[in-house]
């Protein structure tokens, strides 16, 4: 039960995911949360940088995955739901939505990003679920709009520690669900899906695909309906919503 995992707070670290990987590679690690007040080499998805000064939450849940290898794909969605539920609990009315696979956004502004990594040490599979939540402020100068819990709440009372406490509780429930199946997570994820049934642009490596975000497959893949009537299954990429320009 992930709620009972110990929490290790670090003042400064390169990246909580890197620290988790170092710990996972050491023999006999046990499940834990690593939190940092500041990261100096915070990493985002698809090789991006995650700007990580003091004031926001940088954390990684490190645990062993004893279930089927193929079921690991449930975890990014379980984590995204847990974050959305945390954000909603701490900022009531903020209506967090999920941009495939696991960006958490409120009114189009990103409040959290998730980077899931996995590996194997001496035959034991582990997962490092790295979560960044903008708590005290929204970083500036990004290529997309951002918001924070402080902005969403309209006060500066909330701290990274309080946020991690709420996240641990939400994550414990969603992880337990992910260990037994994907149907409930998929259903809950789709309820919060941003852009479902709408035109999206998906960057996959060097190419860009445009189509309608038709559904999420039973394994979490994004199903894109292309203009030529075919369907594309996307397992990794960057989704951008194509806002339709309304005629004058």
| Residues lying near ligand BTN in the complex (CB under 6 A) | 15-17, 39, 42-45, 48, 50, 58-60, 103, 113-115, 130-132
Residue 200 CB, shortest distance to ligand BTN, in Å, is 17
Residue 194 CB, shortest distance to ligand BTN, in Å, is 14
Phi, psi of 226 (to 5 degrees): -90, 160
Which residue's CB is nearer to ligand BTN, number 32 or number 184?
Answer: 32
Q: How far is CA 25 from the centre of its chain?
A: 23
- What tokens appear for 191 in the block? 């309820």
Residue 67 CB, shortest distance to ligand BTN, in Å, is 23
- Comparing CA positions, the residue from 70, 160, 51 lying closest to residue 110 is 51
Which residue's CB is nearer to ligand BTN, number 2 or number 60?
Answer: 60
Residue 220 CB, shortest distance to ligand BTN, in Å, is 16
Which residue's CB is nearer to ligand BTN, number 144 or number 198?
Answer: 144
Which residue has its beta carbon closest to ligand BTN?
A: 113
Which residue's CB is nearer to ligand BTN, number 46 or number 107?
Answer: 46
The answer to whether 195 and 20 have CB atoms below 8 angstroms apart is no
d(CA 245, CA 56) in angstroms, rounded, equals 35
* Angle of CA points 164, 167, 171, to nearest 5°: 135
Residue 14 CB, shortest distance to ligand BTN, in Å, is 8
Which residue's CB is nearer to ligand BTN, number 91 or number 146?
Answer: 146
Q: In what order do the strands lie in the sheet with 124-133?
A: 7-10, 32-36, 57-64, 124-133, 109-121, 103-106, 97-99
């Amino acid at each position: 039960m992930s709620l009972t995992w110990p929490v290790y707070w670090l003042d400064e670290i390169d990246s909580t995911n890197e620290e988790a990987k170092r710990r996972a590679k050491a023999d006999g690690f046990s499940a834990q949360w690593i939190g940092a007040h500041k990261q100096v080499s915070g990493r985002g998805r698809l090789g991006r940088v995650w700007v990580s000064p003091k004031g926001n939450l940088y954390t990684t849940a490190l645990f062993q995955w004893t279930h089927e290898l193929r079921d690991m794909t449930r975890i990014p969605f379980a984590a995204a739901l847990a974050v959305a539920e945390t954000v909603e609990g701490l900022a009531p009315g903020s209506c967090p939505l999920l941009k495939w696979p696991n960006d958490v956004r409120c009114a189009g502004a990103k409040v959290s990003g998730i980077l899931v990594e996995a590996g194997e040490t001496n035959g034991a599979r582990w997962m490092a679920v790295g979560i960044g939540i903008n708590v005290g402020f929204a970083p500036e100068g990004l290529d997309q709009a951002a918001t924070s819990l402080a902005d969403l709440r309209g006060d500066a009372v909330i701290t990274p520690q309080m946020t991690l406490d709420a996240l641990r509780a939400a994550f414990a429930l969603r992880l337990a669900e992910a260990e037994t199946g994907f149907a409930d997570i998929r259903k809950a994820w789709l309820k919060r899906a941003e852009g479902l049934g709408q035109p999206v642009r998906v960057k996959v490596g060097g190419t860009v695909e445009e189509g309608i975000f038709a559904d999420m497959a039973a394994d979490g893949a994004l199903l894109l309906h292309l203009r030529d009537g075919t369907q594309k299954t996307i397992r990794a990429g960057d989704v951008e919503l194509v806002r339709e320009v309304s005629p004058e």
